[in-house]
Chain A
Amino acid sequence: MAEVKKILLIDDEKDFCFFVKQILERSGRFQVSIAHTGETGLTLAQQNKPDLIILDVMMPNMSGPDVADALLRNELLKSVPILFLTALVTEEEIGSRLMREIGGRNFIAKPVEAHKLISCIDNTMRCGDVNCGAVAR
């Protein structure tokens, strides 16, 4: 039996977080904690280092990239892989522009189907910070 991975989901859309938590935990492979702001997310990550952070790009106050910067500067958390989540960019842009501007990480666009989300999570954890190019479609 594989180890249950700890996932921190940071997104200001509460209902979205609720459903994603249910879906992921139901698979039995993940344990999901939720933060609705970047600040809370950072605090939670500090308290209980996750195996992966799913991070919404557009949030009020502290945006996704801001949170990512803070994580990178944190000795404890800088190695935690991040999966960006966004409602704004198109999938093609995920492959080019945002990657260049925010750093070589993985992205996924809303709305997302469960199996795509899970395969994206798996890819991101397997490749860590390295851009593995496996952008979900």
Chain B
Amino acid sequence: MIKPRILIADDEDIIIQLIKRVLTDKGYEVETAENGSVAVEKLKTNAFNLLVTDLKMPGLTGTDVLKQIKITNPYIEVILVTGYPTIEAAVEALKIGAFDFICKPFDINELVSTVERCLRKQAYAIDYVKATELRTLFEINRSVTSESNLDAYLGRILDSALSITRAKKGSLLMLDDHSRQLTVKAVRGNGDGAASAPAQLEVENTIPGRVIREGKPIVINSRESFDELMQSHPDMAPASLYTPPLASLPLRSQRTTFGVMNICEKESEEGFTEREYTLLAVLAGQGGVAIENFKLYNDLQAKIEMLEETIKKLHATQDQLIQTEKLASVGQLASGIAHEIRNPLGIIMSGLEFLKGTMKNDDPMTGESIEKMKNSILRANNIIIELLKFSRASKLELKAVDLCALIAEAAGLLEHQASLNAVEIQRQFPPLPVLIEADVTMLRQVFFNLFLNGIDAMPKGGRLSVCVTQEQSDGASWAGVNVSDTGTGIAPENLDRIFDPFFTTKEPGKGTGLGLSISHMILERHRGSIEVKSQVGTGTAFLIKLPVYAGQPAQQEEAWQK
């Protein structure tokens, strides 16, 4: 246990010696001063818990000493001793902060008990201050992990720092990694009247900037040393912002300095005590941790978002693969069974033709029946033909073409049919050609299919829009084609299935259910994609993306079917 330190000031040596002996016997560490000036000097350079001083001394009186030391050390307790007691003097002493007042001659036991009482009170007071500080630190510490609003948290750190040090002004600046500027995150006491703080500070030639650069705190405890600093660094701006004493501490983690906390202008003229400085350092450290946490949290959040995006893309790719697999298996099946089915179809067809020729009478019913049967054979055959398009192992015949011209051509083929259905075809093409590498026949079929579907979806007429754009994404140039109709729309439960082979909502015989799956496959083989959006009653939009031809020879397309 540290012994309480007591300074005794009296111009009578005998009294000094007496008190010193008694208090030393009681276990205190005692020093002496023969007058007021010596006492003030000793109090400035050494820490004492208690001053026992004579009221009347030559030079500085006990009251003078009391006034002076309370400015620089508000925690010290003072007991006044006097041989000429007056009520007024006693009241005055208590007013300016003395603990008690003892009259000479005094009973030594009275002195000891007063000293003990005084020190006990002081211990309580210090305990109270410590407890308050600890609670402040604890609260700050506790909320560092839960606080998601960094600015609010930094504000609380600043408030705590101001209340612990009883300072009037403070600010908390954060360093922007890119611009190397200090941004004010929180400011206190610089409001009305005082020079308002700028929102940003340069790192060069400012006190906080120097703290950032050096990663070390700057503490200026007196007006003199502040002026000295300003004179030696006249470009160190802005001096008007700070009123000494000033403590400027880095907010840092183990490796990086994130910002600066400035605290200045205390309620009294005293500088920062060792203890206050330690507390400020703890708070600044806490601020550094908070900023680092916040940055780590943000990084993590960004990574999570990236990961989610990747997973989404992965799912999309997986869906595409499944779709491709479906199409491929249908294709393989098709080429396998086409031969087996088309041969019997050939026999039935030629058999029917034979029968038609052998009919003796010209019964119109018979002729009609044979035509119906022939039509059914052709219908079955059409499905086989569509299926066979999947299994074509031939390579794409790629050449650079203007996508707009190709689309215009496909639309032109359907112009007549569109007008019969009261459908207006609207084209929106960019002024310059959009070059892509394509197998013209196959890609034309894709747009033909899409336009035909669009027209079919508008039995009461409507508008079929086709809009071509060229856009940049992921460092590549893409051609986008938006084909939309104002038709019946696709029911949500069907939307996932429209690219499936044989899925159709058209009545039997009107569609093979292969148009969109073939389009999907063809676009995929062109390294493109197709997406659909639809709302029942409003219409359907297909968005096609195709890589723009950059003038380089196309990558040799892998054999689509093994």
> Which chain B residue lies CB-closest to A20?
B350
Q: How far is the CA of A109 from the CA of B345 in the complex (A)?
A: 11
Contact B388 A90 (CB under 8 A): yes
Please give, as numbers and ranges, the residues of chain B lying within 8 Å of A92 by CB-CB distance.
441
**B394 at interface (Cβ–Cβ under 8 A)?**
yes
Contact A16 B346 (CB under 8 A): yes
Contact with A along B260-294 (1 / 0, CB 8 A): 00000000000000000000000000000000000
Interface residues of B in 330-347 (CB under 8 A from A): 335, 338-339, 342-343, 345-347
Contact B348 A111 (CB under 8 A): yes
Interface residues of B in 8-56 (CB under 8 A from A): none
Choice from B338, B343, B378, B385 contacting A13 with Cβ under 8 Å: B343
Contact B388 A19 (CB under 8 A): no
**A80 at interface (Cβ–Cβ under 8 A)?**
no
Interface residues of A in 85-137 (CB under 8 A from B): 87-93, 96-97, 109-114
Interface residues of A in 20-52 (CB under 8 A from B): 20, 22-23, 26
**A58 at interface (Cβ–Cβ under 8 A)?**
yes
**A15 at interface (Cβ–Cβ under 8 A)?**
yes
**B349 at interface (Cβ–Cβ under 8 A)?**
yes
Contact B394 A112 (CB under 8 A): no
**Closest CB in chain A relative to B349 CB, distance in Å:** 4
Q: Which of A22, A110, A111 has the most CB of B within 10 A?
A: A111
> Which chain A residue lies CB-closest to B351?
A19
Contact A111 B349 (CB under 8 A): yes
Please give, as numbers and ranges, the residues of chain B lying within 8 Å of A90 by CB-CB distance.
385, 388-389, 392
Contact A111 B381 (CB under 8 A): yes
**Closest CB in chain A relative to B554 CB, distance in Å:** 19
**Closest CB in chain A relative to B391 CB, distance in Å:** 9
Interface residues of B in 463-514 (CB under 8 A from A): none
**Closest CB in chain B relative to A11 CB, distance in Å:** 9
Contact with B along A1-27 (1 / 0, CB 8 A): 000000000000101100110110010
Contact B357 A23 (CB under 8 A): yes
Contact A87 B338 (CB under 8 A): yes
- Contact status of A110 and B354, CB under 8 A, knowing A19-B347, A90-B385, A90-B388: no
Please give, as numbers and ranges, the residues of chain A lying within 8 Å of B356 by CB-CB distance.
114
- Contact status of A19 and B350, CB under 8 A, knowing A88-B335, A91-B385, A97-B394: yes
Please give, as numbers and ranges, the residues of chain B lying within 8 Å of A13 by CB-CB distance.
343, 346-347
Please give, as numbers and ranges, the residues of chain B lying within 8 Å of A58 by CB-CB distance.
339
Choice from B347, B388, B389, B394 contacting A16 with Cβ under 8 Å: B347
Choice from B351, B357, B381, B385 contacting A15 with Cβ under 8 Å: B351
Contact A113 B354 (CB under 8 A): no
> Which chain A residue lies CB-closest to B341?
A87
**Closest CB in chain B relative to A63 CB, distance in Å:** 12
**Closest CB in chain B relative to A93 CB, distance in Å:** 7
**B374 at interface (Cβ–Cβ under 8 A)?**
yes
Please give, as numbers and ranges, the residues of chain A lying within 8 Å of B357 by CB-CB distance.
22-23, 26, 114
**Closest CB in chain A relative to B518 CB, distance in Å:** 12
Q: How far is the CA of A109 from the CA of B348 in the complex (A)?
A: 14
> Which chain A residue lies CB-closest to B393?
A97
Please give, as numbers and ranges, the residues of chain A lying within 8 Å of B350 by CB-CB distance.
16, 19-20, 23, 111-112, 114
Known: A16-B346, A20-B350, A111-B350. 15 other contacts (CB 8 A): A13-B346, A15-B351, A16-B343, A23-B350, A23-B354, A26-B357, A90-B389, A97-B394, A109-B342, A110-B345, A110-B346, A111-B347, A112-B346, A114-B350, A114-B357
Can you report 26 A-B residue pairs in the complex whose CB atoms are below 8 A from each other?
A15-B351, A19-B347, A19-B350, A20-B350, A22-B357, A23-B353, A23-B354, A23-B357, A26-B354, A87-B338, A87-B339, A87-B343, A87-B346, A88-B335, A88-B339, A90-B392, A93-B392, A93-B394, A109-B342, A110-B343, A111-B342, A111-B346, A111-B349, A112-B349, A113-B353, A114-B356
| A-binding residues in B (CB < 8 A) | 335, 338-339, 342-343, 345-351, 353-354, 356-357, 374, 377-378, 381, 385, 388-389, 392, 394, 441
A-B CB proximity, top 3 nearest: A110-B346, A19-B350, A111-B349
